[in-house]
Amino acid sequence: MKRILSLLLSVVMLVSAMSLVDFSAFAASKLPATSITSLSAKDNGFKVKWKKRANITGYQIQVATDKKFKKNAKTVVVKKQKTTTATIKKLKSKKKYYVRIRTYKNSNNKKIYSPWSKVKSTKTPKTIKCKEDNIKKEIENHCTNNNNHSIKCGNMGRWFNSRDEVDNYWVQVDNNYAKQYQDGTITFEEYNKKSPYGYECWSCSYCGKWTGNFKYD
């Protein structure tokens, strides 16, 4: 009888001990990690590529201006397992950024993460300034109703009174897509595809109005 009671007590103690074990750490160690294959600088940001992994839900990318990922930290979640590229936008120009990535998997209403990849770094380029058309103004009212400009209208599809208006329009367009992504209306992949990462612009030599092209991946 004492032997049976002792055995039952051992079983109870074993079950209690197992309930205290955090199996998420074990699960994370089994989740396949990924690694960054390349970083390429772009206007106000950079493009990151990584290795695709199977049996996961997606990827989490983290960038910051320090190796501890505390300063100017930014996190991007890629929700598709097959995606292997992302463009990180709206960063500070001429700044060194550190980048790392890990995989994650949804399990029992929780996210399980793999270990972080090795940290890589890149420097964002200097902000490209727009250059005015060098042709001299010839006729003051040459461009009435937006016709007969000295250059063609860019893919922005409109003319602006100043370079600042061009910049504000780009920010407005990007913020609109960013809000849709935050609201869950579009995925990060759709945001990455639709939102321009930068632009180039120029002015009409006749009327001085500005237009430009959005830049996409």
Q: What is the pLDDT of residues 26-51, one digit of tens each?
A: 455 588 999 999 998 877 788 999 99
* The pLDDT of residue 84: 94
Average pLDDT value for residue range 96-111: 93
State the Cα–Cα distance between residues 189 and 57, nearest whole angstrom: 14
pLDDT surpasses 50 at 83: yes
* The pLDDT of residue 142: 56
Q: What are phi and psi of 211, to 5 degrees?
A: -150, 180
* The pLDDT of residue 20: 46
* The pLDDT of residue 75: 92
Q: How far apart are the first and last CA of the chain?
A: 75
Region of poorest pLDDT, from 10-14, 96-100, 130-134: 130-134
For residues 169 and 157, is the Cβ–Cβ distance under 8 A?
no
For residues 46 and 76, is the Cβ–Cβ distance under 8 A?
no
Rg (CA), the chain: 26
**114 DSSP assignment:** P
* The pLDDT of residue 137: 41
* The pLDDT of residue 66: 94
Instruction: Evaluate the CA torsion angle 213, 214, 215, 217 in order and state its sign.
Output: negative
In the chain, the DSSP E strands lie at 36-42, 45-50, 58-64, 74-78, 85-88, 96-107, 110-113, 120-123, 198-203, 210-215
**Mean pLDDT, the chain, as a whole number?**
80
Domain spanning 26-123, CATH architecture: Sandwich (2.60)
pLDDT band for 202, please (50, 70, 90 cuts). Answer: confident
- For CATH 2.60.40.10, the residue range(s) in the chain are 26-123
Average pLDDT value for residue range 16-20: 49
134-179 confidence digits (pLDDT tens):
434 443 445 655 556 777 888 888 888 888 888 889 888 888 888 8
